[in-house]
A and B are shown apart, each in its own frame.
Chain A
């Protein structure tokens, strides 16, 4: 084991730097994905409402991916943050603060704050404990939203939101043109941030905690601080998604914080695959398209077909189902 020559070290250094950078490099399917998303805005005007919903659910699923796919925290209550964001934006708009971006910032802050506080509960215990804790938090919040009728409108929903024009200029229209453009732009911006953050040393240390918390601590990574940070960030993302839904539909009901929303976002993410950021976006797209198509075919039973797809996915095996999107979008795997 002799020391290599100086030039050998330089060569190795460049090779190592290139190898570290490889994971962060943009790949052509990613460009294609976002080009297609941008094109959809100009080419598919009759699909704006559906696509808007897909973009919002995609952002929500992306948020869950940060928690589940990168930090390994199983959550069955992620709708708590989505709902907190939706109600925040909704209540602000109703109170006369209808600027959409202000609403989103507030939604992110409230949901992120809630995520920060509840993250300390999530630190405790193992997967099953976390499942119960996240579920419980969302159920408590659901009941709060249900009971605080003066604030949330309770079971009737929040009536009378007045969302102002985007950037003081673009009024939301009934076709969903501004809505979809808005949601897509926010999704893209937050995706870029998430991609950058997860490709950073911080992101690597979060993945280390997921991979082996014992060893992560044994190389000095502050495990709890990392989990708190990523959980808070993800909660903020979910809050923005909720805020977008409230602002673009101009209505908030208990549906935003209901249990089925937590379950749906989990299914959406699993459908697209966890741990490579695009899973939630692809899952949301497939989920929404399938929902539209299947409910046309069989209005009563579309959930049966979604369920069947999941059963088949489980039977086929995760690795096989996600082989192609992981190769296209994912990190290099050898």
Chain B
């Protein structure tokens, strides 16, 4: 199988601090991959490098075999590399529907029209409604995003990314701050993605990670410590040591 997303010796330094150290991460097409690691391991920095928010100091990023290291952030999205944010990044003044509709319109190349109206674009409207329905947000579609309760904003955060039609979806702690009862909605929305969509999830909730992932990479101090199946990771003594904080084994 070919790798859908791959990094080659990816490195990012902030002055003397090495935030990402020679990371070689490989996601197969359709993978359900999790990235775990203690706080400050550099997980979000890695996501920022992958999505083009940060430029790497050295190394390469390949999407479906093509080098995208120098490609601008918004172009990477158009190539199918889409992310969600650990802290909600939404348009507070938009309605829920407008948020998703803009993402759908963008993917369909309809966001540059200066004269047309979105309301008249049946394909965009239909797909927006479908995405909102998948996340149980249809009843909230005319509400202002800023007025939504946190849990539903979290759902919208993920719905917006999915509306971009990802080939690779990077979920940065999707369940962060979401009450236990509402986590299933998030997981269900992700589970409903087509199988050929590649998903990388960063998450602290081990329960969620083990339910979701078929492969897990462990990031410690900016470097990949180990990678394997959930059972291999669960049995790994070094991983246990890192998580229990009893020194590096």
Contact = CB atoms under 8 A, between A and B. Distances in A.
Given A1-B136, A221-B106, A222-B74, A200 B115 contact: yes
Interface in A49-87: none
Contact of A20 (B112, B118, B188, B192): B118
A19 B119 CA distance: 8
Contacts of A205: 102, 106, 111-112
B119 A20 contact: yes
Chain B interface, >50% SS class: helix
A200 B113 contact: yes
Interface stretch (B24-32, B35-43, B140-148, B206-214): B140-148
Interface residues of B, number: 61
Interface stretch (B63-71, B92-100, B238-246): B92-100
B91 interface: yes
Contacts of A24: 117, 119
A13 B125 contact: yes
A203 B189 CA distance: 29
A219 B77 contact: yes
A199 B98 CA distance: 12
B85 A218 contact: yes
B117 A219 contact: no
Interface in B189-235: 189, 192
B242 to A, nearest CB: 30
B112 A19 contact: no
Contacts of A20: 97-98, 101, 117-119, 125
B189 to A, nearest CB: 8
B119 A18 contact: yes
Contact of B117 (A199, A221, A334): A199
Interface stretch (A114-122, A171-179, A208-216, A299-307): A208-216
Contacts of B58: none
Contacts of A211: 90-94
B83 interface: yes
Given A1-B134, A20-B98, A207-B94, A219 B119 contact: no
Nearest to B138: A12
B162 to A, nearest CB: 11
Contacts of B183: none
B115 A196 contact: yes
A334 B143 contact: yes
A215 B145 CA distance: 14
B138 A218 contact: no
A64 to B, nearest CB: 19
B111 A204 contact: yes
B134 A201 contact: no
A334 B141 contact: no
Nearest 4 A-B pairs (CB), nearest first?
Answer: A220-B77, A211-B91, A21-B119, A20-B119
Interface of A: 1, 3-4, 9, 12-13, 15-22, 24, 196-197, 199-205, 207-208, 211-212, 214-223, 333-334
